[in-house]
Amino acid sequence: MKVKIVILDSKNPYTNISREYSYFENLQSDEIIFLLWQNEPCVVMGRNQNIYNELDLTYIDQQKILPVRRFTGGGSVYHDLGNLNFTFISNQKNKDINTWINIILKALKKEGIEAEKKGRNDLLSNGKKVSGMAWLEDEEKFLIHGTLMVNLDLKKLSKCLTPDISKFIGKGIKSIKSRVVNLKELNPFITVSGLRSSLIEAFKEEYPYAKLSKHTEIPDEIAIYEMLKSQEWIFGKREKAQMQRILKVEGKPLSLDIYIDNGIIDNVDVYTDSLDLKKVEKIRANLIGKEYKSLNIDDIIKSIWA
């Protein structure tokens, strides 16, 4: 098995996400890859989020903060150079999420910070979020990535994001800043470079034969970079939907923009924070090409999320 650690030297989010996805797409069957990377100020949306509902576009334009859409699901996150990102990539056979999360927790402990996994995709310290994760998979490969907020600009984080308030109904609405914490507040001496070293050390304790490698250009990463920067990828289709449905799944809003031609559904845009991309694709597969009036969309959604 080949295990490698790659520190991406770019700070451009479109470059980094294109490289990350290229590693995933071109993974060799016996590889495990651990990426560490940082982005200049940007807001990174989940694959199926509606940019108009999630981001304050006027503010991010004024602040020269880049809008980015990633390949994984989940919610929007603000990145700057006070944030450190990590990615684990392997084939399905070598996938070991618990070990990988323990590597992150062990690295934080080396920095004097106790943390724990909470729910499916968050790491908390003293009840506040220090990291969020999302994943991508196909039949052969698996990718999970996340953020570590070392000294993130929390004021910009809260101003960039305009989450749908209906997500928080019944849970008590707190400001974003009150639900997250920088690692610097927990240990004033922590640095991004020091945490990066602790992550590499913790990873090598689990995989002693891991090699530190330099990034070498992958043939398709330039094409992916161009797609990630495109207006169509970032903003999605701008034409008015002929039908919109808003439902609740897992306590969160799910919005469908349904396009109909001669009574037949010819496209569906799904907007959701759900991390389960397979279910999103199932929605589209169950609706596209079908006669709109003959479908009970609520029942279809419920059966997929059952």
Question: Between 48 and 210, where is the model more confident?
Answer: 210
Q: Are residues 181 and 271 in the same domain?
A: no
Domain-terminating residue out of 233, 260, 289: 233
Whether residue 129 is predicted with pLDDT greater than 70 in this model: the reply is: yes
Domain-terminating residue out of 181, 210, 233: 233
Task: Let me know: does 246 contact 255? Beta carbons within 8 Å.
Answer: yes
Domain-terminating residue out of 173, 207, 233: 233
Structure tokens at 116: 């724990």
Q: Are residues 145 and 262 in the same domain?
A: no
What proportion of the chain, given as a percentage, has pLDDT over 70? Answer: 93
Whether residue 165 is predicted with pLDDT greater than 50 in this model: the reply is: no
Q: Are residues 96 and 44 in the same domain?
A: yes
Q: Are residues 197 and 228 in the same domain?
A: yes
For 98-122, write each residue's pLDDT tens digit. 999 999 999 999 999 999 999 888 9
The residue-averaged pLDDT of 268-288 equals 90
The predicted pLDDT at position 166 comes to 44
The predicted pLDDT at position 130 comes to 95
What is the average pLDDT value for the chain, to the nearest integer?
Answer: 89
Q: Are residues 210 and 105 in the same domain?
A: yes
Q: Are residues 64 and 28 in the same domain?
A: yes
Question: Between 240 and 111, where is the model more confident?
Answer: 111
Q: Are residues 149 and 30 in the same domain?
A: yes
Q: Are residues 256 and 187 in the same domain?
A: no
The predicted pLDDT at position 173 comes to 36
Give start and end residues of each alpha helix (H) in the chain. Answer: 13-25, 51-54, 57-62, 97-110, 154-160, 176-179, 183-186, 192-206, 221-229, 231-235, 277-287, 297-304
Kindly report the CA angle at 273 between 267 and 276, in degrees rounded to 5?
Answer: 75
Q: Are residues 154 and 266 in the same domain?
A: no
For 31-44, write each residue's pLDDT tens digit. 999 999 999 999 99
The predicted pLDDT at position 259 comes to 86
Binned at pLDDT 50, 70 and 90, residue 237 comes out as: low
The predicted pLDDT at position 241 comes to 57
For 260-270, write each residue's pLDDT tens digit. 777 788 899 99
Q: Are residues 182 and 89 in the same domain?
A: yes
Whether residue 223 is predicted with pLDDT greater than 60 in this model: the reply is: yes
For 54-94, write each residue's pLDDT tens digit. 888 889 999 999 999 999 998 899 999 999 999 999 999 99
Whether residue 167 is predicted with pLDDT greater than 50 in this model: the reply is: no
Binned at pLDDT 50, 70 and 90, residue 169 comes out as: very low
How many domains does the chain fold into? 2
The residue range of the domain holding 301 is: 237-305
CATH of the domain at 256: 3.30.390.50
Q: Are residues 228 and 276 in the same domain?
A: no
For 181-210, write each residue's pLDDT tens digit. 999 999 999 999 999 999 999 999 999 999
Q: Tell me the pairing of strands 116-118 and 122-125.
A: antiparallel
Q: Around Cβ 7, how many Cβ atoms within 10 Å?
A: 15
CATH of the domain at 75: 3.30.930.10
Quote the CA–CA distance of 205 and 266 in Å, as a whole number.
51
The residue-averaged pLDDT of 243-252 equals 82
- Whole-prediction pTM: 0.81
Q: Are residues 146 and 249 in the same domain?
A: no
